[in-house]
């Protein structure tokens, strides 16, 4: 027993080392040559596997199959977490029609064509007609699978927003769930046919019962995840428990099949992928722990995918892969043709613009984790032809990983929904500010704004001025005569920092009457001037009160003040306006924002609203948000007007 455990530990340790090294190589290929990361990991696995270098021998792959189960559960968790589609309400009709155009067309045409050419496919030649049909149906069901993670990554990279993008994302997410149900049906039929059992009414009733039970068990595991997330445990412990729960779904399904096989002479087969998706769907839609659950999945899934794709590659034979690659190319083209037909029907049925038709199929080419997981299950179940089937599917996925992303990007540019910069609340680069008064504070402010991309100049009456990098304009006095001579058009912000309030007020009055200013900010030392500034819609800052307030918040909320004072590296703030009509009426907790951003305030009709998770958004609301720059870009993109 000890020898077996030591051997398993040796295999596991060796596999981890290969995976880490493989990931570094795959990342290098991705950065240097734009080679898909998933494809790189699979190829590294093949290279290290039994057919070439034998760093991961065949018995090691079998010993490590628990990694496949765990990985598939987490991939299903990730897919289920995307099923929060309240932000796609305006396109729900188009999404539904695109789904029900693509699904039957891809499944039926693929199944029919592969059945017709079955005698040309070497591993299907010896099968009976019914077996050929079920193998073709397995291909057809897997061809439906999409890759939500790849779609989301490309949409974020291209800053894509619009009706076409929403339809693509919604269709991709829903199809990745429906493929699990369809595959469960075809997989059960295939096992029954291969084992020589009849396809009678009892079989289909039992199949329906198994699917319903899988859904109920999925809800149970969702409630278990809710219990895990509910307690105030450490993030590490919760992550470990989520992983254990994911593996527990597969363990439970396997043990249930063994138990029922012994008791009833018939194994009760639940569908663990469906159970995992339902569990995740339950957590993100019916519990208050969606954000924390998504954060955990977001943290662990990169590591899970490294192990999954490397181990998948290690289980493949390079000889078989080369043997089936031509067939894989033919089937890849077949799948593309069915997508062209199904997507065209979907566009016409949805009454979307006809200009979508030439590119409507392109976003759906890419496949990844779910498709590979389903193919691996076929390879594991059917001894005589399963591994050849799995190898063909993975070869098709390799092609889809290479060709899919460029086609998706082309389609987004074709329909003019890719944007290099956000349309509203753009990055600060190019904005202009004018500061009145020259001292250490105004210089420090000017330099800080310049670092953020602003164009800043200082206007002063001071005669002795040190040389520095900030443009400084000297005038004789702050009077209309001299202010008229200045070019103060197209200025985004005026900052009035003169030590005398009456001079700041005089400048503000002139600006208000002559420049249509977007924003004026004034330092005010005497309370009697505040009402005068407010009449001019000037934002006032009283230095003493501001200092006291900052000190108070530093004592009460030190972390928040570190962020606001830029002491927390890598964080920034931004204002975003609710212009996306799909966000209107949503609760803040349902926004599906990056987990590393914080909403500081919400301004509605010039009034600051105290926000909480159940605050509903209204058109024109302005949220002040703090977080890392990359996450803030995603937030700005989400709020853009459609």
The contacts found for 421-426 with CB under 8 angstroms, 24 or more apart, are 421/159, 422/159, 422/633, 422/636, 422/637, 422/640, 423/640, 423/641, 424/576, 424/577, 424/579, 424/636, 424/639, 424/640, 424/641, 425/574, 425/575, 425/576, 425/577, 425/636, 425/639
Identify the residue whose tokens are 């990007």. 409
Give the pLDDT band of residue 89 (cuts 50, 70, 90).
low
Q: Give the per-residue pLDDT at 424.
A: 41
Q: What is the pLDDT of residue 467?
A: 61
Enter the tokens of residue 325: 């690659």
3-state secondary structure of 542: coil
Provide the pLDDT for residue 203.
Answer: 77
Angstrom distance (rounded) from CA 104 to CA 252: 32
pLDDT, residue 475, reads: 87
Residue 237's contacts (CB-CB under 8 Å, 6 or more residues apart) are none
Q: What's the gap between Cα 158 and its chain centre?
A: 13
**Looking at the predicted structure, is the pLDDT value of residue 355 above 80?**
yes
Percent of the chain, pLDDT > 70?
A: 88
What is the pLDDT confidence band of residue 288, given thresholds at 50, 70 and 90? confident
68-81 pLDDT tens trace? 888 888 888 887 88
Query: Class assignment of domain 557-639?
Result: alpha beta
DSSP string, 195-212: TT----HHHHHHHHHHHH
Tell me the torsion sign for CA atoms 247, 249, 254, 255.
positive
* Interval 393-418 mean pLDDT: 88
Lowest model confidence (mean pLDDT) among 157-171, 342-356, 446-460, 606-620: 606-620
Rounded Cα gap, residues 261 and 254, in angstroms: 11
The answer to whether residue 477 scores a pLDDT higher than 80 is yes
- Dihedrals φ, ψ of 568, to 5°? -90, 105
| Residue 545, pLDDT above cutoff 90 | no
pTM of the model: 0.70
Matching residue, tokens 């590591």: 303
How many residues can be counted in the chain? 642
Maximum mean pLDDT: which of 29-43, 176-190, 239-253, 311-325: 239-253
Give the pLDDT confidence of 460-472 residue by residue, as tens digits. Answer: 888 777 766 788 8
3-state secondary structure 446-502: HHHHHHCCCEEEEEECCCCCCCCCCCEEECCCCCHHHHHCCCCCCCCEEEECCCCHH
Mean pLDDT of 261-285: 84
**pLDDT at position 334, please?**
93
When mean pLDDT is compared over 141-150, 328-337, 448-457, the highest value belongs to: 328-337
- Share of residues in the chain with pLDDT > 90 (%): 16
**pLDDT at residue number 565:** 60
Q: What is the mean pLDDT of residues 439-467?
A: 82
Q: How far apart are CA 215 and CA 274, in angstroms?
A: 7
Residue 12 class from Cβ within 10 Å (0-12 exposed, 13-18 middle, 19+ buried)? Answer: middle
CATH no. for 432-541: 3.40.50.720
Question: CA–CA separation, 61 vs 380, rounded Å?
Answer: 12
Higher-confidence position of 222 and 467: 222
Segments making up each domain of the chain, as ranges: 65-414, 432-541, 557-639
- State how far the Cα of 459 lies from the Cα of 504, in Å rounded to an integer: 12
pLDDT of residue 510: 87
Dist. CA 119–CA 633, nearest whole Å: 53
Residue 421 has what pLDDT? 52
Q: How confident is the model at residue 426 (pLDDT cuts 50, 70, 90)?
A: very low
Ranges 240-244, 304-308, 548-552, 636-640: which has the least confidence: 548-552
Residue 198 exposure: Cα atoms within 13 Å on the Cβ side: 3
Q: Does domain 65-414 have CATH number 1.20.1530?
A: yes
Residue 1: band (very low, low, confident or very high) from pLDDT cuts 50, 70, 90: very low
Q: What is the mean pLDDT of the chain?
A: 82
Highest mean pLDDT, choosing among 146-155, 409-418, 563-572, 599-608: 409-418
Average pLDDT for 449-465:
83
Strands (E) across 511-595 are located at 520-523, 539-541, 572-577
DSSP label at 615? P
Q: Which of the pair, 8 or 158, is modelled with greater confidence?
A: 158
Q: What pLDDT does residue 332 have?
A: 93
Q: Which residue has the higher pLDDT, 446 or 542?
A: 446
Q: What is the pLDDT of residue 16?
A: 85
User: What pLDDT, on the 0 to 100 scale, is given for residue 422?
Assistant: 46
Output the pLDDT for position 423: 44
Residue 243 pLDDT:
92
Measured CA to CA, the distance from residue 143 to residue 367 in angstroms comes to 9
pLDDT band per the 50, 70, 90 thresholds, residue 223: very high
Mean pLDDT, range 152-172, rounded to an integer:
81
Q: What tokens does 80 get?
A: 């289920």
pLDDT for residue 567:
47
- Alpha-carbon distance 589 to 617, whole Å? 11
Cα gap 522→536, rounded to integer Å = 11
From first CA to last CA, the distance across the chain in angstroms is 63
**C-alpha–C-alpha distance, residues 581 and 599, integer Å:** 20
């Amino acid at each position: 027993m000890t020898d077996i455990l030591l051997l398993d530990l040796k295999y596991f340790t060796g596999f981890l080392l290969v995976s880490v090294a493989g990931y570094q190589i795959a990342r290098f290929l991705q950065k240097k040559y734009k080679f898909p990361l998933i494809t790189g990991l699979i190829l590294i696995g093949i290279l290290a596997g039994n057919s070439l270098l034998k760093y991961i021998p065949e018995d090691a792959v079998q010993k490590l199959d628990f990694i496949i189960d765990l990985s598939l559960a987490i991939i299903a968790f990730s897919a289920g977490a995307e099923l929060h589609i309240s932000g796609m309400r305006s396109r729900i009709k188009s999404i539904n029609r695109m789904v029900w155009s693509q699904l039957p067309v891809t499944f039926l045409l693929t199944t029919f064509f592969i059945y017709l050419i079955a005698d040309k496919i070497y591993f299907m030649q010896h099968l009976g007609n019914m077996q050929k049909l079920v193998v073709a149906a397995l291909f057809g069901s897997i061809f439906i699978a999409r890759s939500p993670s790849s779609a989301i990554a490309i949409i974020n990279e291209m800053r894509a927003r619009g009706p076409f993008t929403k339809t693509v994302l919604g269709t991709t997410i829903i199809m990745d769930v429906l493929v699990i149900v369809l595959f469960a049906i075809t997989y059960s039929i295939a096992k029954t046919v291969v084992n020589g059992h009849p396809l009678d009414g009892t079989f289909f009733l039992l199949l329906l019962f198994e699917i319903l039970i899988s859904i109920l068990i999925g809800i149970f595991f969702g409630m278990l995840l809710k219990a895990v997330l509910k307690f105030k445990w450490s993030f590490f412990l919760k992550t470990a428990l989520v992983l254990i729960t994911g593996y527990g779904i597969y363990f439970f399904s396997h043990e249930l099949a063994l138990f029922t096989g012994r008791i009833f002479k018939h194994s009760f087969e639940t569908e663990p992928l469906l159970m995992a998706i339902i569990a995740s769907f339950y957590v993100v839609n019916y519990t208050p722990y969606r954000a924390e659950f998504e954060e955990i999945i977001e943290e662990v899934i990169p590591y899970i995918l490294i192990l999954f794709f490397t181990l998948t590659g290690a289980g493949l034979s390079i000889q078989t892969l080369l043997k089936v690659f031509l067939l894989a190319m033919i089937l890849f083209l077949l799948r593309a043709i069915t997508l062209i037909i199904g997507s065209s029907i979907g566009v016409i049925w949805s009454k979307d613009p006809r200009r979508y038709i030439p590119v409507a199929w392109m976003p759906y080419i890419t496949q990844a984790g779910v498709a590979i997981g389903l193919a691996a299950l076929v390879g594991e179940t059917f001894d005589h032809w399963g591994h050849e089937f799995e190898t063909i599917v993975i070869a098709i996925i390799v092609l889809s990983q290479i060709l899919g992303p460029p086609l998706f990007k082309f389609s987004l540019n074709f329909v003019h929904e890719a944007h290099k910069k956000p349309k509203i609340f753009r990055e600060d680069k190019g904005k202009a500010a004018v500061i009145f008064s020259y001292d250490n504070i105004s210089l420090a402010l000017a330099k800080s704004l310049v670092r953020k991309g602003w164009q800043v100049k200082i206007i002063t009456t001071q005669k002795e001025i040190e040389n520095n990098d900030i443009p400084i304009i000297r005038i004789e006095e702050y009077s209309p005569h001299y202010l008229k001579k200045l070019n103060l058009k197209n200025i985004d912000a005026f900052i009035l920092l003169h030590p005398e309030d009456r001079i700041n007020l005089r400048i503000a009055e002139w600006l208000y009457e002559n420049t249509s200013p977007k924003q004026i900010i004034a330092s005010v030392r005497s309370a009697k001037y505040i009402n005068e500034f407010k009449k001019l819609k000037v934002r006032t800052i009283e230095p003493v009160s501001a200092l006291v307030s900052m000190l108070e918040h530093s004592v009460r909320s030190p972390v928040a003040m570190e962020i606001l004072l830029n002491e927390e590296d890598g964080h920034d703030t931004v204002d975003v306006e609710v212009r996306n009509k799909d966000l209107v009426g949503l609760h803040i907790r349902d926004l599906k924002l990056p987990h590393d951003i914080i909403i500081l305030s919400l301004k509605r009709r010039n009034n600051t609203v105290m926000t909480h998770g159940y605050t509903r958004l209204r058109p024109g609301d302005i949220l002040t948000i703090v977080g890392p720059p990359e996450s803030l870009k995603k937030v700005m993109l989400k709020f853009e007007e459609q």
